[in-house]
Amino acid sequence: MGEMFEKYPFEKLNELLKDIEPETEKRYILTIGEPQFETPEFIQKSLCENSKYLNKYPKTAGEDILKESMRGFVKRRYGIELKPQELLPTFGTREVLFNFPLFLKPKKTAFPNPFYQIYEGAAIAAGSRIKYLPLTKENNFKNRLSQLDGDEDFIILNSPNNPTASVMSLDELCEWVEYALEKNVIILSDECYSELYFDEKPASMLEACVKVGNNSFKNILVINSISKRSSAPGLRSGFIAGDGEILKNYLQFRTYVGCASPLPLQLAAAKAWSEDEHVEVFRKEYKKNFEIAKETLGIEIPKATFYIWLEVDDDIEFTKKAWKKGVKVMPGRFMGRNGAGEGYVRIALVYSPQETIEALKIIKELL
């Protein structure tokens, strides 16, 4: 059974680099999208204060205080007042991306290529046929309706995008919502990087629904997470929001999955979702890193995420040379299929500005 799944990109990377010993003691791991800034103190304090609630089973549907904080975030950020049945807390978003297709059982799933590997694994586990939607320089790393075959019944979109850092406009998202209604297709929008922006706020597919008059969010679901926003991936706090009819049945499915978040984590997450100032601090740090990257590598600063999708001659050879110098990057082809991602490496700017300068200077020399 396990042979159906591709090796995870990090496993492929370990195999590629296993015989290379870096020439330097100092190592820069720029492969994983894990924030390296400390989780804000007020979130840590809440977790400690509520550890006494470890003696209680958490509800699958989540505590009211957490759901209210998440709906509050959606209201502040997008001006949309979700009904209680239109949002479910989740244990991060990776579990949703994997088990939602198991619940849905789509016949054919489409998603971007390159992609976050869970999209593919979930489709395989659900027995769904796959349609890869290439992200290329020619389409500005944004998926188009023209890429579809027309027989897909489930589509995953990802904006702001991992790994390419592209951002779809509100009008572009509206086209997908209209398509979902016209063809009765379910679309899941992965928006986990929505809060790491540097100028204009990225649009949500929830906003696109409102703009085209789909006020019940029919056939549309979005996911988001606190991991990047609050530098708190260990809290495992995400949500899925949108079509209340689908979520009602999905909640029942989730009671069997057994992925309820422990109460101390829920209460700490509620604090984090309710506060926005700490997020601005992180955005400023990431922007500093991109300004360094612009100065060092001559790249354009993306609208969002903390990734550089850097064009190179040969992503495999570049990755090996970089690790010899102590810098670990992700070859683009490990994140794609059918040649997607070749000639690019993904670099995660998740460290302090000083370490970022040091790492990017090494990359510049290799270019």
CATH of the domain at 172: 3.40.640.10
- For the record, the structure tokens of 305 come out as 């995420």
| Whether residue 88 sits in one domain with residue 25 | no
Convert the pLDDT of each residue in 182-229 to its tens digit: 999 999 999 999 999 999 999 999 999 999 999 999 999 999 999 999
| Whether residue 265 sits in one domain with residue 298 | no
CB of 153 closer than 8 Å to CB of 188: no
Q: 119: closest CA among 105, 101, 133?
A: 101
For 251, the domain range is 55-275
| Whether residue 192 sits in one domain with residue 159 | yes
Residue 163, preceding peptide bond in cis (omega within 30° of 0): yes
What type of residue is 31?
T
The total domain count for the chain is 2
3-state secondary structure (DSSP) of residue 157: strand
Q: 74: closest CA among 266, 204, 268, 251?
A: 204
Measured over the CA atoms of residue 58, residue 64, residue 65 and residue 66, the dihedral's sign is: positive
Q: What is the mean pLDDT of each run of 10 residues along the chain (367 residues)?
A: 77 96 94 87 96 93 96 98 98 96 98 97 96 97 98 98 98 98 98 96 98 98 96 96 98 93 96 97 94 96 96 98 98 97 96 92 96
| Residue that terminates a domain, selected from 275, 306, 322 | 275
| Residue that terminates a domain, selected from 254, 275, 296 | 275
In a domain, 46, yes or no: no
DSSP classification of residue 162: T
What CATH code is carried by the domain that includes residue 329? Answer: 3.90.1150.10
- Residue 1 burial (CB count, 10 A): 6
Q: What's the Cα-to-Cα distance from 28 to each of 12, 32, 87, 356, 362, rounded to whole Å?
A: 18, 11, 38, 9, 10
Convert the pLDDT of each residue in 14-60 to its tens digit: 999 999 999 999 999 999 888 888 999 999 999 999 999 999 999 98
